[in-house]
Structure 1
Amino acid sequence: MKTTKTPAVAAALSVAAQRWPHRLNELIHTISTRLTRPETRHTTRDLLRGLLAPLARKNCWTLAEHAGHPTPHRLQHLLSRAQVDEGGLIEDLRTYTRTHLGDQDAVLVLDETGDLKKGTATVGVQRQYTGTAGRVENAQVAVYLAYATPAGHALTDHRLYLPRSWTRDPERLRAAGVPDEVSFATKPELARQMISAALAAHTPARWVAADEVYGANPHLRHALEEAHLGGSPVSVDTR
């Protein structure tokens, strides 16, 4: 489709494509204090470059190949065994997002997504509904918070949903490495925690958008009213 804005849009996309390597380096610099070892910083940069690349499939093998690694071991180590301050990374991401996208009329967008799994050892996995498949499947589900403004959008936080089948089984929690202080929380409660953390970090926002799972929850609605945030429930029923 051609419009009178097409040349301007194409020019903007071209400029954005030229700028993103600089933006990536800037982001790596922002989080560098959380990645104390040089090899961890280098591998993190390779991981992010791969995730941004137009690869047909993205896993440790394809990302390693894209980065020129002989094996996926470095990426696997980063994702499963490296000591990384995840909470600190999220704080840095909020700061970076606020610096570049901060807007008093921003929208905090809530949604969940699932990763289909075959086994039972992955933390949080059970048979449950996931929009990824559109039905009940063996899956791991997490709730995400995005920050959206006219200037752009970014994922800024997440919480893994732990079903009661997990939180009622201390041995299973210990085997999966779940911290002792983690307890059961509904998805709307996880959403409330993320919004509270964002506001405590002085993230400017005016609205929250979410589907009925969240919009119909009285505790979350009350928290939004207390924070003077407008709510916008979004219907996802496309039948």
Structure 2
Amino acid sequence: MSPDVVQRLLRTADWNADAVRDQLRGHVLGRLHPSAVRIVDETECIKKSAGWAGEARQHTGSTSETDKCQIGVFLLACAGAARALMDRELYLPRAWTDDRDRAAGMALWSALATRPTLVRRMPTRALTAGVPARWRAADAVQGCAKRLRV
């Protein structure tokens, strides 16, 4: 299957991203080693064109500059050489959510959430779904957030 076919499917199909996430997590859960480490990471996607959900001029850790980008936070499970994406959240900056027309159709809970809040939601969902994790790790940004430490 070509990348164009997959991109067309993702762009035009009517699907629920959270349901897909839950189904993927269930698939991975049956194969995940009990000693898996949950890792939270924040990643920026630099954008050169306008119109992307959540894109705004904001600080990017990868370039240490302010660029037009999207910021996502991700929860991964790692055990040995195995790695799996378990969850994701798109950060919506204030510059984006303050524009009601631009933010139309976005869930209210995502429009009001800081990055640490988004990060706290993902392990909670993972625990509720029964994802084992003896250890948690985070990148430098999220690892310094006092509310995320136990």
Same fold (TM over 0.5): yes
Aligned to 1:218: 146
State the SS of the aligned residue for 2:101. Answer: helix
Aligned to 2:129: 201
CA distance, structure 2, for counterparts of residue 208 and residue 129 of structure 1: 25
2-side partners of 1:95 and 1:203: how far apart? 9
Q: Name the CA distance, whole Å, in 2 between partners of 1:220 and 1:183.
A: 21
Q: Report the Cα offset of residue 97 of structure 1.
A: 1.4
Which residue identity is paired with 1:86?
A
Structure number with greater CO (CA < 8 Å, separation at least 6) is: 2
Counterparts of 1:63-82 in structure 2, within 5 Å, are 63-64=2-3, 72=4, 74-82=5-13
Q: Which amino acid aligns with 1:87?
A: D
Contact 2:91 2:110 in 1 (8 A): no
Residue of structure 1 in register with 2:28 after alignment = 97
Counterpart residue number, 1:167: 97
TM superposition shift of 1:130: 2.1
Deviations along 1:161-188, one digit per CA (max 9) or x if unpaired, are 10011222211111xx423453221211
Q: From the superposition, tell whether residues 181 and 205 of structure 1 become closer, same or farther in structure 2 (CA, over 3 Å).
A: closer
1:187 aligns with 2:115: yes
Q: Which has the larger radius of gyration?
A: 1
Find the counterpart in structure 2 of residue 87 from structure 1. 18
CA distance in 2, matches of 1:115, 1:208: 24
Aligned-partner Cα distance in 2 for 1:155–1:133: 24
Mapped contact 2:78–2:84 kept (Cα < 8 A): yes
Maintained 8 Å contact 1:125/1:138: yes
Tell me the alpha carbon deviations over residues 131-161 of structure 1, each in whole angstroms, 9 at most, x when there is no partner.
3434321111101110011251111111001
For residue 78 of structure 2, the aligned residue among 131, 142, 148 is: 148
2: CA distance, partners of 1:180 / 1:191: 17
Q: C-alpha separation between the residues in 2 aligned to 1:113 and 1:173?
A: 21
CA contact (8 A) 1:188 1:213 kept: no
Overall identity of the aligned pairs, in %: 37
Partner residue in 2 for 1:124: 54
Question: Which amino acid is 1:211 matched to?
Answer: D
Q: Which position in structure 2 is the counterpart of 1:69?
A: none
Higher share of residues assigned helix: 1
Q: Is the 8 A contact 2:92 2:110 kept in 1?
A: no
Distance 1:149 1:181 in 2: 32
Higher strand share: 2
Q: Structure 1 residues 98, 75: closer, same or farther in 2, change over 3 A?
A: closer
Contact 2:42–2:139 (Cα < 8 Å) also in 1: no
Relative distance call for 1:156 and 1:196 in structure 2 (3 A) is same
Structure 1 gap ranges (5+) = 1-45, 47-62, 65-71, 226-239
TM-score w.r.t. structure 2 length?
Answer: 0.88
What's the Cα RMSD here?
A: 1.9
